[in-house]
C-alpha cells in the first residue's frame, strides 16, 4: 500500500517561515497547526527540515505521536554549492541534531538562517550526514539559487557533488525531468539517482503540495532507505497514481 509522505517541511524555527516574512499579517503558526495541516491533506509521515536548525522537531514529534502522524527529525543544511536535506531515524534526539549542526560549523546565532552557510562543500556535507547515520538528499536541485544543479557554481563542482557516494536521492521541483535524472540521461550527469519531491512548506497551507507515495513494510528510516534503493517499484509521484487509476 502506498502511503503519502512529505520529506521537506519547515516550521517557525526557520527565519523564512511565513510568520517572520509577513509580520504585518500577524500570522502566529502553532506547531499543532502544522501537524493538523499534514493530517488534513492525508500525509502519513513528514520530515521536519528547518534551515540549519533542529529546534522545531521535538514539539512537532510530540504532537504527531498524539495524533497519529510519523515525524522524521531532520535539518536542511546550507553549504557551498547548494542545500542538502539530512533525514534521521524517528527517535533521533534533538541533541544529536544540534551536535551535527555544530559539527558543520553553525553557531546558535545562525540557527534557522538559510542564508548562513557551512564552509564545507555540499558533497562534504553529504558525507557527514551519511557518517552520522542519516539519509542525504540534495534539496530542490533544479531551483535557483540554492539547488546545486541550477546554481552558478562551475560545472566541475556540480559534477563532483552529483557523483557523491554519500548522496541518496535528488529532490526535484520539476517532476517532468524525473525520468532523465533517474536514468542518467542528463548531459554531464550520468549517475542514476532515485528522485523525490517535497513541499518545502513555509506555511501550513503549503503542506503536501508536492508529496510522494511510498510502499514499504515499515515507515521508518530503514523503510525510506528501502524505498530509495528500490524506487522503481516503491516510489510513486501523484501523477503515477492518477495514470494507474485511469487504466
Half-sphere exposure of 131 (CA within 13 A, CB side): 9
pLDDT at residue number 168: 98
H or E element at residue 170 = strand 169-171
pLDDT tens column, 155-164: 999 999 999 9
CA distances from 54 to 6, 15, 110, 155 (A): 17, 13, 12, 32
Q: Which domains, ranges and CATH numbers included, belong to the chain? A: 3-246 (3.20.20.140)
User: Comparing C-alpha atoms, which of 147, 145, 125, 144 is closest to residue 136?
Assistant: 125
Tell me the C-alpha distance between 177 and 143, whole Å. 12
- pLDDT score of 198 more than 80: yes
Mean pLDDT of 110-119: 97
Query: Per-residue confidence at 241, pLDDT binned at 50, 70, 90?
Result: confident
- Mean pLDDT computed over 225-247: 89
Residue 135 parent element (H or E): strand 135-138
Percent of the chain with pLDDT over 70: 98
| pLDDT band for position 246 (cuts 50, 70, 90) | low
Question: Rounded mean pLDDT of the chain?
Answer: 96
Beta bridge partners of 169: 137
- Res 245 pLDDT > 80: no
- 96-120 mean pLDDT: 97
Residue 133 has pLDDT above 80, yes or no: yes
Do residues 219 and 3 make contact, with C-beta atoms less than 8 angstroms apart? yes
- Least confident interval from 26-30, 72-76, 89-93, 117-121: 26-30
State the Cα–Cα distance between residues 229 and 94, nearest whole angstrom.
Answer: 27
Candidates 189, 134, 158, 164; CA nearest to 81 is 158
**pTM, entire model:** 0.96
pLDDT at 4 over 70: yes
| pLDDT for the residue numbered 22 | 85
- The per-residue pLDDT for 24 is 77
Q: What number of CA atoms fall less than 13 Å from residue 102's CA on the CB side?
A: 7
* Per-residue pLDDT at 247 exceeds 70: no
Cβ–Cβ < 8 Å for 22, 29: no
Mean pLDDT (whole number) for 102-109: 98
Give tens-digit pLDDT for 229-238.
999 999 999 9
* pLDDT the model gives residue 244: 67
Looking at residue 27, what is its pLDDT? Answer: 81
Label residue 177 exposed, middle or buried (CB < 10 Å: 0-12, 13-18, 19+): middle
Describe the crossing of helices 155-162 and 122-131 by its angle, rounded to 10 degrees.
Answer: 10
pLDDT band at 114 (very low <50, low <70, confident <90, very high): very high
Per-residue cell: 56: 522545531
Amino acid at each position: 500500500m502506498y502511503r503519502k509522505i512529505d520529506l521537506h517541511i519547515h516550521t517557525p524555527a526557520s527565519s523564512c517561515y511565513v510568520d517572520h516574512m509577513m509580520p504585518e499579517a500577524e500570522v502566529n503558526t502553532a506547531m499543532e497547526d502544522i501537524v493538523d495541516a499534514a493530517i488534513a491533506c492525508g500525509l502519513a509521515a513528514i520530515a521536519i527540515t528547518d534551515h540549519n536548525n533542529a529546534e522545531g522537531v521535538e514539539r512537532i514529534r510530540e504532537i504527531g505521536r498524539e495524533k497519529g502522524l510519523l515525524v522524521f527529525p531532520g535539518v536542511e543544511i546550507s553549504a557551498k554549492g547548494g542545500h542538502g536535506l539530512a533525514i534521521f531515524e524517528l527517535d533521533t534526539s534533538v541533541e544529536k541534531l544540534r551536535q551535527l549542526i555544530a559539527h558543520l560549523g553553525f553557531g546558535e546565532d545562525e540557527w534557522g538562517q538559510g542564508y548562513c552557510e557551512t564552509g564545507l562543500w555540499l558533497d562534504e556535507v553529504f558525507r557527514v550526514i551519511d557518517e552520522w547515520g542519516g539519509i542525504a538528499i540534495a534539496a530542490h536541485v533544479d531551483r535557483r539559487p540554492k539547488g546545486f544543479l541550477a546554481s552558478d557554481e562551475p560545472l566541475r563542482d556540480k559534477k563532483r557533488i552529483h557523483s557523491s557516494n554519500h548522496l541518496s536521492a535528488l529532490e526535484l521541483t520539476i517532476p517532468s525531468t524525473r525520468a532523465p535524472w533517474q536514468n542518467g540521461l542528463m548531459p554531464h550527469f550520468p549517475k542514476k539517482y532515485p528522485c523525490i519531491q517535497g513541499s518545502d512548506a513555509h506555511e501550513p497551507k503549503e503542506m503536501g503540495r508536492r508529496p510522494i507515495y511510498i510502499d514499504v513494510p515499515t515507515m521508518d528510516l530503514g523503510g525510506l532507505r528501502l524505498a530509495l534503493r528500490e524506487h522503481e517499484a516503491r516510489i510513486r509521484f501523484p501523477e503515477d497514481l492518477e495514470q494507474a487509476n485511469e487504466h
